[in-house]
Structure 1
Amino acid sequence: MSTAYLERLDPVQEAVDWAEYLVDIPAAYRLWVAEEAGTVVGFCRTGPADGDPDLGDSAGEVYGLYIEPARIGTGLGRGLFGHAVADLKGRGFGQLCVYAYVPNTDAIRFYERAGFTRDGIERLDDEDGIGVAEARLVCRDSPAM
């Protein structure tokens, strides 16, 4: 995401939005949080792949994996992602997908190392004016976590 976009975010409103989301989160959705010394250092959201009917009714999605930049490369992301994927599989989801911003080649490589592959599907994330293309990666077999 661009620096300009991130600078436009209002931390107070973001906190309110997250609090509302957590109160009303549907049962099929999960939010996994990693913390150190009481501070959130990463999170991962998962649930049904509702926006991808071509993957079938039993498809699951990792909606996002976010790690504090200073913690990237420590194994935290791999552990959090592995936990989220194992939960999706354990709850009976078949194919799994994740979208990554196309310019974020590090994230794409991370998902590829975990057993996900780009399938040629892209979409534009234009929510709140982000305006960045996302590539879909899918895993049809057991991920390599």
Structure 2
Amino acid sequence: MIIREARREDVAAIVGMLADDQIGSTRDSADDLTPYLKAFEEIDADPAQLLIVADDAGEAVGTLQLSVIPGLARKGALRGQIEAVRVRASHRGSGLGGELMAWAIAESRRRGCALVQLTSDVKREDAHRFYERLGFEASHTGFKLKF
């Protein structure tokens, strides 16, 4: 198993992982990859964005996106923002999610980030326990405005 940057040909597998749960199935679908491929091109072109996959014999079985965000707060500190952490059902419980998170944390440090943050839907209680086991603290309340 290796962790590597995602490639265009990984997009269908990534979308499959995004759609493979109760919440994701209402938002994502691999029926039309056009918007996902467009988003992939934008992510891939931006050095502050990293879309990675866990590759098991050429197959993407885990993924996350890491964004390095500059800000004025905390004396101009960089933040690592982790999004869309997913592991294919066949690989859950193997420690792969922890490996992906360790990679993202190490990469954030390597890039000079002062902290790593993430958001998680309030309904994802298993994910919350996972993040807490990794040392993350539920420190803020998030808000979204959908368009």
TM-score by length of 2: 0.70
Counterpart AA for 2:37: V
Q: Structure 1: which 4+ aligned runs deviate by more than 3 Å? A: 2-7, 52-57
2:95 to 75, 95, 101: 75
Residue 96 (structure 1) aligns with: 116
Counterpart AA for 2:59: T
CA contact (8 A) 2:43 2:49 kept: no
Counterpart AA for 1:36: D
Residue 32 (structure 1) aligns with: 52
In the aligned structure 2, how far is the partner of 1:30 from the partner of 1:100?
A: 19
Task: Give structure 1 stretches of 5+ with no counterpart.
Answer: 128-145
Shift of residue 53, structure 1, vs aligned partner: 6.4
TM-score by length of 1: 0.71
1:17 is the counterpart of 2:45? no
Deviates most, 53-62 or 106-115? 53-62
Task: Give structure 2 stretches of 5+ with no counterpart.
Answer: 1-22
The CA RMSD over aligned residues, in Å, is 2.5
CA contact (8 A) 1:47 1:62 kept: yes
Aligned residue for 2:120, secondary structure, equals strand
Shift of residue 114, structure 1, vs aligned partner: 0.6
Residue 15 to residue 97, structure 1, CA distance change in 2 (3 Å) = closer
Q: How many residues align?
A: 124
Q: How does 1:1-145 map to 2 (within 5 A)?
A: 1=23, 3-6=25-28, 10-24=31-45, 26-49=46-69, 57-124=77-144, 126=146
CA contact (8 A) 1:64 1:98 kept: no
Residue 23 to residue 122, structure 1, CA distance change in 2 (3 Å) = closer
Report sequence identity in percent: 25
Residue 46 to residue 75, structure 1, CA distance change in 2 (3 Å) = same
In the aligned structure 2, how far is the partner of 1:12 from the partner of 1:81?
A: 26
Counterpart AA for 1:122: G
Aligned residue for 2:135, secondary structure, equals coil
In the aligned structure 2, how far is the partner of 1:44 from the partner of 1:62?
A: 7
Shift of residue 31, structure 1, vs aligned partner: 1.9
Shift of residue 14, structure 1, vs aligned partner: 4.7
Residue 136 (structure 1) aligns with: none
